[in-house]
Chains A and B, each alone.
Chain A
Amino acid sequence: MNALLTLLKGDTSAESVVPRTGYTAMLTIACAAAMAFLAVFVLALALSAGRQAGDWEASLADTATVRISAPVEMAAVQAETVETILSQTPGIGGTRRLSNDEQALLLQPWFGSDLPIETLRLPILIDVTLTENGPDVIGLRQRLAAEAPGAVYDDHGRWRAPMVDAARGLRTLSLIALLLIAIVTGVTVALAASAAISANGQVIDVLRLVGAEDSYITRAFTRRFSLRTLAGAAAGTIIGLFAVALIPTVAGGGLASAVGFQGAEWIWPLLVPLAAAALAFAATRAAAARRLKEAG
């Protein structure tokens, strides 16, 4: 924060000693714009993946299913037994047996709407709603195995975990990509600053001759490069935000449909230009200090 305040407060007298022109100026602005554009995308992806993982986890964590696969003559009895057991089990908020029509709807994506469901031997499915603490799953499974051998308690963990893991993995990869973008931006700005410092050897000689301390010479370059980066990153961020806003939304499309920013998340992309400027400030200062030390 101090660095940013210093940057904003600035030292225009120091900055003016560095010529405004040079290929490093365009390189810095273009790099900052491109990196900010990418950063906005990756940020949107990271936030969306995190949000999706949370949603999936939350929506599935408070439900379970009991599947009863038993001979026809025993299935109804076992279903009633299971419902009784569930009603007596702490942590179970409610149960609801799925009707044949509901089961047909579940199978429809695979078998189509013309499926003669009455000809199939389908298991009985009981949708279970859990309370906040949930049941003692091991104890419940043991009791079901003893009293209703055809019943299987499924807490959705088997297929929920990979989905949540995938979303979390995507978020982690996005954050790594964000880190790489920051590193590349910092390195590029530092290289551009080094090149500018080398190209302005005479300026540095004159400044030293008239008694300029290293901090003054460093300020002359850091403010210039930080402001260039800020300008480039601001342009890249605006374009990136437009691009993210234009991503089409697909109802029920999962993660792909959810890439974007929601609510307070819009603050994060707005921080990209400031973060880029702070990064440029630090990178330029380090590059200048190194070059001045090498110059002796």
Chain B
Amino acid sequence: MADRSAIALNSVTMSYSDNTLFRDVSLQLAPGSFHFLTGPSGAGKTTLIKLCYGELQPTEGRVTLFDEDTGHMDRDAIARLRRRIGVVHQDCRFIDHLSVAENVLLPVTVSGGNVEAARTDMSELMNWVGLNALSDHRPPELSGGERQRAALARAVILSPDIILADEPTGNVDWEMSLKILGLLIELNLLGKTVLCATHDMSLIRQAKTRVSTRVLRLRDGAVELAGAEL
């Protein structure tokens, strides 16, 4: 049975101590859609992204991934579900003593997949993100943009249904931002659901010229659909 929604938040409230980040938020991301999530710093974009891959549990409400309630899942079940979700963070985290190629292969390794086959096919993937020449380097040797692209390669190696990108262009120049955006758009055109948190309106405007996107704005503890002002 096809998933009715890739990600759904139902009446979700998220609080840290006495600070409520957002209250009673509901949203659904349809399979194959491209959403931007924007809002001022501290509005809760990263928290919402983390809710979307089960890293955090809501204070109230329900988060469902592929129609499964994350509140009723144990850590291992969430881990298995994450293999259908590719995540790219602003501060891309890697295992520094492994090579870039080994880091990119990690999702295959931990899921018990065919690492040798994936290694054979990896050249195409590394070419796609423009890192073929850096496969044997260690992550600390990469620039910010290269790290983002390596993280994107790692996020898509299992061909996940959803790509979650949290400020993927936060640490890179405009040219690199456009490259990363281009990769996200390519993935969306392949049918992947994309949710990209960013505060860069230029990037959003650029994306809108190339692909159908919706923009969600987190403001004053609520999520609203941004209008034509963009």
Q: Does B98 lie at the interface of the complex (its beta carbon under 8 Å from any beta carbon of A)?
A: yes
| A211: B residues at CB distance < 8 A | 79-83, 107, 110-111, 158
| A203: B residues at CB distance < 8 A | 95
Q: Whole-angstrom distance from the CB of A205 to the nearest CB of chain B? A: 6
Chain B residues touching A, range: 20 to 34
Contact A207 B106 (CB under 8 A): yes
| A205: B residues at CB distance < 8 A | 93
When C-beta atoms are compared, the residue in chain A nearest to B104 turns out to be: A210
Give Cα distance in the complex from A20 to B103, angstroms.
Answer: 17
Chain A 66-80 interface residues, beta-carbon cutoff 8 Å to B? none
Contact B93 A13 (CB under 8 A): no
Give Cα distance in the complex from A258 to B102, angstroms.
Answer: 56
The stretch that binds B, out of A86-94, A213-221, A264-272, is A213-221
Cβ contact of B93, chosen from A19, A206, A216, cutoff 8 A: A206
Contact A17 B93 (CB under 8 A): no
When C-beta atoms are compared, the residue in chain B nearest to A216 turns out to be: B110
| A216: B residues at CB distance < 8 A | 110
Q: Does B75 lie at the interface of the complex (its beta carbon under 8 Å from any beta carbon of A)?
A: yes
Please count how many residues in chain A sit with their CB below 8 Å of the partner chain's CB atoms.
Answer: 21
B111-135 vs A, CB cutoff 8 Å, 1 = contact: the mask equals 1000100000000000000000000
Q: Does B109 lie at the interface of the complex (its beta carbon under 8 Å from any beta carbon of A)?
A: yes
Give Cα distance in the complex from A292 to B89, angstroms.
Answer: 22
Give Cα distance in the complex from A205 to B94, angstroms.
Answer: 9
Q: Does B87 lie at the interface of the complex (its beta carbon under 8 Å from any beta carbon of A)?
A: yes
Give Cα distance in the complex from A203 to B224, angstroms.
Answer: 36
Q: Does A59 lie at the interface of the complex (its beta carbon under 8 Å from any beta carbon of B)?
A: no
Cβ contact of A210, chosen from B76, B82, B97, cutoff 8 A: B82
Chain A 191-212 interface residues, beta-carbon cutoff 8 Å to B? 202-203, 205-212
Contact A209 B87 (CB under 8 A): yes
| A20: B residues at CB distance < 8 A | 97
Give Cα distance in the complex from A95 to B81, angstroms.
Answer: 86
Contact A209 B95 (CB under 8 A): no
Q: Does A108 lie at the interface of the complex (its beta carbon under 8 Å from any beta carbon of B)?
A: no
Chain A 90-123 interface residues, beta-carbon cutoff 8 Å to B? none
Contact B95 A213 (CB under 8 A): no
Q: Does A257 lie at the interface of the complex (its beta carbon under 8 Å from any beta carbon of B)?
A: no
Contact B115 A213 (CB under 8 A): no
Q: Whole-angstrom distance from the CB of A294 to the nearest CB of chain B? A: 12
**7 new A-B pairs (CB below 8 Å) besides A210-B82, A216-B110?**
A207-B95, A210-B83, A211-B82, A211-B110, A213-B80, A214-B76, A214-B79
Query: Which B residues lie at the A interface, using CB under 8 A?
Result: 55, 75-76, 79-83, 87, 89, 93-98, 102-103, 106-107, 109-111, 115, 154, 158
List the 8 closest pairs (A to B, CB-CB), nearest first: A212-B110, A211-B83, A211-B82, A210-B107, A213-B76, A213-B79, A210-B106, A19-B97
Query: Which A residues lie at the B interface, using CB under 8 A?
Result: 13-14, 16-17, 19-20, 202-203, 205-216, 292
Some 29 contacts from A to B, beta carbons below 8 A apart, are A13-B115, A16-B102, A203-B95, A205-B93, A206-B93, A206-B106, A207-B95, A207-B106, A207-B110, A208-B55, A209-B82, A209-B89, A209-B93, A210-B82, A210-B83, A210-B106, A210-B154, A211-B79, A211-B81, A211-B107, A211-B111, A211-B158, A212-B110, A213-B76, A213-B79, A213-B110, A214-B76, A214-B79, A292-B75
